[in-house]
A and B are shown apart, each in its own frame.
Chain A
Amino acid sequence: MRVAFELDGEERTVETPPDRSLRELLREDCDARSVKAGCDGGRCGACTVLLDGDAVKACLVMAAKVDGRSVTTVEGIATGSLGREVQDAFEEHSALQCGYCTPGFVLSALAHLDDDPDADREALRSALSGNVCRCTGYEKIIDAVAAVAERRGDAE
């Protein structure tokens, strides 16, 4: 079937079997290499993208479902102020080592901060529980996102 959608602000039309995963569609047909392939079974969160602004696991989304919708990868948030802020915070707090899980974490954090701008650490732990990191032990990731939430909270 043919699916037409917006990927990081650019219109795309792709021919795909409907029951392919969005993860495969993005990496293999759209060359969106920031969308990482991890477990491909919904457990690790490395393939997290924003679907109409909400964080979802691309390996759990049928390709057919993306028709008419908008997909944002970590490449597409560099220009937004919150997206930039979250990415800078990961760098400042050394919240990444190998970096494989980082695009997924950044997008999950962004989606949560959109809903809950001054989230506390407990809320952030819950919001990020669908993303797995094998390097950092999570503390620095929570530190980074919590720092953004504190700044946003103070600014309000």
Chain B
Amino acid sequence: MTDGTADATGRSEADYYRPETVEAACRRLRDADGRVRIVAGGQTLLPLVRQGLVDADAFVDVSAVPGLSGVTVEDGRATVGATTTYAELADHGLADRVAALGEACAVVADRQVRTLGTVGGAVAHGDPTFDLLAPLRALDADVGLAGPDGRRRVPLSEFLIGHLRTDRHEGELVTDVTFDRPDPERSGSAYERHAAAGSGRATAGVAAVVTLVDGAVETARVACSAVADTPVRAHAVEGDLTGEAASAEAVAAASERAPADIDPIDDEAGSPAYKRRLVATLTERSLLSAIGRAGGSP
């Protein structure tokens, strides 16, 4: 391998491991020679490898490890295994109950990518344009990790530390994400995004999770994708809306504050000013939809 692309003759090739347990995967991550990469669906990884942007001497494919896949809800706490695909999450009842998850899964890339792409891959790659990260941030999700020093849990807000940068330590593996399922009786959620092309990356996306009490907003959690180096919470919007009547006027006023917490870059998708305007609009749409689903009538 000279230019980062695989040798078509197969003369010099990376090692490829398919461990059958989390422990065996962690041992491989620790003991493999050279640069080790974890493979789940491979939908992000393979193009990076093919373009020579990512080096690997060894791959540890965790997609067949039992226990890393699937969705469970127990005592109101939802757990989504790392190798659960977007398609599997979208098909699970949880994605209907927590609409922001279903709406985010539905717009990730395209059908083919959603068939193989995984939730753990989205979290571990740390790309703030990945749609699913906004609802997970709005749900206050945390990330499960397994590694040489055992298992630990980290809030997603602390795990995602920058553009493509996470708090995953060497030898660690993302095992799952968990979050409290919002109260189905009086909560609602939504994800709204805009992309320049049908199956393209989000120019911006906004997830809202709202809980109502007596027609007023008890809690509002709003998170934005693609407009900062991590998915960020719109704290100003959340603060303004908490305790207010769940009305269209209150939502419109609070949504104007969304740009306060974002830091969009200037790129081919649009200028920072355009993205700030876009985020305010998407915030309003997602909040109105979430409030409607929570039983409110904004």
Point out residues on A near B: beta carbons under 8 Å.
1, 15-21, 24, 28, 40-42, 45, 48, 51, 54-57, 59-62, 64-65, 108, 111-112, 126-131
B199 adjacent to chain A (CB < 8 Å): yes
- A–B Cβ pairs within 8 angstroms, 14 of them: A1-B16, A17-B14, A18-B13, A18-B16, A19-B6, A19-B14, A21-B46, A42-B113, A45-B110, A48-B112, A60-B42, A60-B43, A60-B47, A130-B110
Interface residues of B (CB under 8 A from A): 6-8, 10, 13-16, 39, 42-43, 45-47, 49-51, 56, 59, 61, 63, 87, 106, 109-113, 115-116, 198-199
Known: A15-B10, A21-B50, A45-B112. 18 other contacts (CB 8 A): A17-B6, A17-B7, A18-B15, A19-B46, A19-B50, A20-B8, A40-B50, A41-B47, A42-B109, A51-B116, A54-B87, A59-B46, A60-B47, A62-B45, A62-B46, A111-B111, A130-B110, A131-B110
Q: Does A61 lie within 8 Å of B115, measured CB to CB? A: no
Asked if residues A55 and B59 are in contact (CB atoms below 8 Å), the reply is: no
Which residues on the B side are within 8 Å of A28 (C-beta)?
Answer: 8
Complex Cα spacing A45 to B178, Å: 33
A96 to B150, CA, bound (A): 55
* Contact in complex: B112, A55 (CB < 8 Å): yes
Q: Are A62 and B39 within 8 A (Cβ)?
A: yes
How many inter-chain contacts with C-beta < 8 Å in the A-B complex?
Answer: 97
Q: How distant is the Cα of A101 from the Cα of B164 in the complex, in angstroms?
A: 33
Q: Are A19's CB and B59's CB within 8 A?
A: yes
